[in-house]
Structure 1
Amino acid sequence: MRNILLHLRIPFSVFLLPVFLFALSQTNLSTNGATGRTWWAFALIHLLLYPASNAYNSYYDKDEGSIGMLEVPPPVSIGLLATAWALDIAAIIVAWWVGLGTSFILYLVIYGAISKAYSHPAIRLKKYPLLSWLVVGLFQGAFTYMATVQVISQAEVSSLFSLKNLLPPLICTSNLWAVYPLTQVYQHEEDARRGDLTYSRMVGIEGTFLNAAIFFALSFAGFLYYFLNFGSSNSLIALTLCMGPVLGYFGYWWIMVRQNVAAANFRHTMRMNVLASLGLNLFFGILCFSTF
């Protein structure tokens, strides 16, 4: 049981929480029952859907080297696979039971299917570097953002397709396209043993950092345009204060890696993840507080 709990990597959900908080900060909470739907959506995504995806990925990868939040992964068992399926099914049943709507249930089904296709040996999107990079960014970013806005506000899906509503999910995706390859940068040897050509392996260590720099820059350009046109310029001050240390550490780490490639390791990757999630969670938390 302890091994299964470790492979769920529930604390890892904190790294993906900024997408939910950004969506919450830009959502109309005046609709009847919005607060209850917010809590249910949060629980189903972060305590069931994401852990199920982590468990499923761990079962088929059978990592021996460090993975997200686990420096020394414990052995996997068939119980881990059963747990992954049970969590996915439970999320769908609970969403139906509490009345979160067909659109959100479809989101859970589609996200669960994509996460399985990512790891299952019959499909294994993970071995296709460009496709897996695109899919992870789109589904953990834009798709989750829009599903969160829709379920909380109960808005018509068609109403979400405007510049004001599409720019934030694209910013989320850009952030993930920056960060996701960084989470692979220390796994090149193990991925090579399994025959997985990940995006980070494809572009190399230097290319991974350059990719992150490009998409971080695009994200900040997106924030600049969005808040100047649809929000408050004060939000940009908060963003700078919250994310300045993150960008500072990223630059410091990149310099270290250029001096010694061994610095592209698990511990630096986790520090980068923790700093980025703390900075974004704090920023979007501020936005949520100002909205409420």
Structure 2
Amino acid sequence: MTLAAYRRALPLLRIPFSLYLMPVFWFGLSAMPRPFSEWRALGVFLVLHGLAYPASNGYNSYYDRDEGSIGGLKHPPKVSAELLHLVWLFDGLAVLGSALLSLPFAGLVVVYLLVSKAYSYEGIRLKKYPLISTVVVVVFQGAYTFLMTQVGVGASTAELLAPTNLGLALVSTIFLCGSYPLTQVYQHEEDAQRGDLTLSLRLGIRGTFVWAGLALALGAALLAFIYLHRRTPHHLLIFLAATGPVVMLFGRWARAVWQDAAAADFEHTMRMNQVSSVCLSLAFVLMLLWP
């Protein structure tokens, strides 16, 4: 075991790819009804995006041993024992960092880390089951992370359980339910070889796009209803303006896939992730600035 071996394993933590999950973090903050500590918010961000998510990515890579492209890496390096060492290090730092913010937040982080391990671990491997794995991912990376972010910055129980707040948490899960299968659409062959019957594999390439379109439309409709109920129509306008490019890109990609299934590839998937992450994050940050 040498330092060079750890450097070779580090890219499999896919830290830049973890930033694609930023919109849920910003969404949770934008839904807060009162000001919060910016320093606590920074701490929550570092724990989730700098430590917990990369640890989950690395653990998934360790058991998947992908030879083809994976999220954030077109040509992933070979898996080694050093990768698992880095995973445990990041896990430990995530728990320690979250405990410094608050014990309830630390407890939620521990549960998230354990569930992410069950998703990939060969003895359990929830990933083999299309419906169970989808529910786990969209709940824990959606509503669970939305509420976990708010707990991390000090939200009260009343604020967390407010009907409109829970409604927005549900919106985050619905959005994930639409976008998550799109991240699997270029891995059908490799997933099938491993016996991982992902939701996208079951739906097929065209079915994945239909599913995504319906779920994203449902999430947007519920979001609009809640924003209007909260009397924040300016937040709805910000959301519609910021997601315009996402809708256009999704439409062009779907049309290309209908003409040639080969367009459901790694490059198009990563471009969709990048554009949607940036646009949604921008929308929720603007909402923070214009409460």
TM-score range, shorter chain: over 0.9
Letter in 2 for 1:51: P
Instruction: Give the 3 Å change call, closer, same or farther, for CA 237–129 of structure 1 in structure 2.
Output: same
What's the CA shift for 1:274? 0.8
Of 69, 74, 78, which residue of structure 2 is paired with 1:71?
74
Moved more, 230-239 or 37-46: 230-239
In 2: Cα distance, 1:136 partner to 1:25 partner: 22
Q: Secondary structure at the match of 1:76?
A: coil
Are 2:17 and 1:12 aligned? yes
The gaps in structure 2 that reach 5 residues or longer are 1-5
Letter in 2 for 1:290: W
Are 2:91 and 1:88 aligned? yes
In 2: Cα distance, 1:231 partner to 1:268 partner: 37
Contact 2:182 2:212 in 1 (8 A): yes
In 1: Cα distance, 2:45 partner to 2:150 partner: 12
CA offsets per residue over residues 5-35 of structure 1, 9 Å max, x none? Answer: 211111112210011101111225546xx22
Give the structure 2 partner of residue 49 of structure 1: 52
Are 2:36 and 1:40 aligned? no
Contact 1:27 1:152 in 2 (8 A): no
What's the CA shift for 1:153? 2.5
In 2: Cα distance, 1:28 partner to 1:224 partner: 17
What's the CA shift for 1:95? 2.1
After superposition, residues 77-226 of structure 1 pair within 5 angstroms as 77-96=80-99, 98=100, 100-156=101-157, 159-226=159-226
Instruction: Let me know the Cα RMSD of the aligned residues.
Output: 1.3
Q: Secondary structure at the match of 1:196?
A: coil
In 2: Cα distance, 1:51 partner to 1:43 partner: 11
CA offsets per residue over residues 32-75 of structure 1, 9 Å max, x none? Answer: xx222111111100100000000000010000000001011110
What's the CA shift for 1:159? 4.8
Contact 1:28 1:153 in 2 (8 A): no
Letter in 2 for 1:74: P
What's the CA shift for 1:241? 1.3
What's the CA shift for 1:203? 1.0
In 1: Cα distance, 2:97 partner to 2:161 partner: 28
Letter in 1 for 2:251: G
Letter in 2 for 1:25: S
Normalising by structure 2, we get a TM-score of: 0.95
* Moved beyond 6 Å, runs of 4+: none
Give the structure 1 partner of residue 26 of structure 2: 21
What's the CA shift for 1:94? 2.2
Moved more, 2-11 or 274-283: 2-11
Q: Secondary structure at the match of 2:184?
A: coil
Contact 2:33 2:159 in 1 (8 A): no
Give the structure 2 partner of residue 256 of structure 1: 256
CA offsets per residue over residues 104-143 of structure 1, 9 Å max, x none? Answer: 1111111000110000000001000011111100000100
Q: What percent of counterpart residues are identical?
A: 45
Contact 2:30 2:287 in 1 (8 A): yes
What's the CA shift for 1:4? 2.0
The gaps in structure 1 that reach 5 residues or longer are none
Letter in 2 for 1:251: G
Q: Secondary structure at the match of 1:183?
A: helix
Give the structure 1 partner of residue 3 of structure 2: none
Contact 1:103 1:147 in 2 (8 A): no
In 1: Cα distance, 2:233 partner to 2:78 partner: 50
Letter in 2 for 1:118: Y
CA offsets per residue over residues 147-199 of structure 1, 9 Å max, x none? Answer: 1112212413x652231110111111111111110000000000111111111
Instruction: Give the 3 Å change call, closer, same or farther, for CA 153–263 of structure 1 in structure 2.
Output: same
Q: Secondary structure at the match of 2:218?
A: helix
Contact 2:142 2:169 in 1 (8 A): yes
Q: Secondary structure at the match of 1:72?
A: coil
Moved more, 147-156 or 239-248: 147-156
Normalising by structure 1, we get a TM-score of: 0.95
Contact 2:65 2:78 in 1 (8 A): yes
